[in-house]
Amino acid sequence: MRFDDLIDFYIEAEESSGLGGNAPELFRFALKEYFFKEECAQSKGFLTFLDRLEMPSFLNGVPSLFDIDIEAMRAEVDGEIANDSLCGKIFLSAPYLKSFYPHQPPSFNQMAPEVRAEVLNKIKETNREIVSAFEKMKADAEADKNRRVLQLLAFIIKNIHKKTEFPLNRLEKKAQEVIAEIFPSYNDVYTANQRQNAELFDEGRVRDLIKAFFAIRKFQDIAEILELYKKELERYRKRTLRARK
């Protein structure tokens, strides 16, 4: 899935954009800085178009993008008629066609048949990707609200391993037992309270966790993994606080 980290983008957007509480403009911000970030970087004309695009009605009266009614969104974004869908309005617009199909007429009906087919497919695919991204964001928030410390640490270890490809140790005990020996609150629901954060950010405990799970070859490995751990934990801390808001 192309847009699988929308929750992290959105939490940062609420904090940094100055648009907190303004769902329509936060959605526009997501279009420009997340879903169509590359296109906006390539074309000022397309960026200006998105700046002026009327936002969908399913955003009216919604306090945040976490509160979107997914079925209302699906009906409007991924509608039956491509022209009236969100990405239909975007991909069939003259600014988009001029910018990204410069060797075709800037009118959809005058474009070559194979190019029209490509654009229509792009409309359907991107509409569905946007809806799916919001579905996943809501599911992620629900999971963040109810995740136990044990699950949180398992996710962090998994994410670090995936990003760095550091080899994992073959454990003599179950992973749960190893984590339980290091972090007393392992079985608590993670609410990002002060006590939990003090324990989870404690460098001595984290180093023990790293040495237990990762096949460390040199001291620098520990330092590198420690920094990644802190970033991952901070990301989940923010997500948890936002989900429990």
**Which of the four pLDDT bands, split at 50, 70 and 90, describes residue 57?**
very high
Q: Which of 13-27, 70-84, 213-227 has the lowest mean pLDDT?
A: 70-84
Nearest CA to 75 out of 56, 60, 90, 62 is that of 56
The Cα–Cα gap between 177 and 173 comes to: 6
What pLDDT score does 224 carry? Answer: 95
The mean predicted confidence, pLDDT, of the chain is 94
pTM of the predicted model as reported, rounded to 2 decimal places = 0.91
Average pLDDT over residues 168-191: 95
Quote the percentage of the chain above a pLDDT of 90.
Answer: 87
pLDDT at 150: 97
pLDDT band of 84, cuts 50, 70, 90: confident
Nearest CA to 32 out of 11, 14, 53 is that of 53
Report percent pLDDT > 70 for the chain: 100
Rounded Cα distance between 25 and 31, Å, is 10
Mean pLDDT of 75-80: 85
Torsion angle of C-alpha atoms 208, 213, 217, 219, degrees rounded to 10: -30
Are the C-beta atoms of 148 and 140 separated by less than 8 Å? no
Q: What is the pLDDT of residues 114-143, one digit of tens each?
A: 999 999 999 999 999 999 999 999 999 999
What's the rounded Cα separation, in Å, for the pair 9 and 154? 22
190-199: average pLDDT? 97
pLDDT confidence tier of residue 227, bands split at 50, 70 and 90: very high
pLDDT, position 226: 97
Q: pLDDT-based confidence at 107, cuts 50/70/90?
A: confident
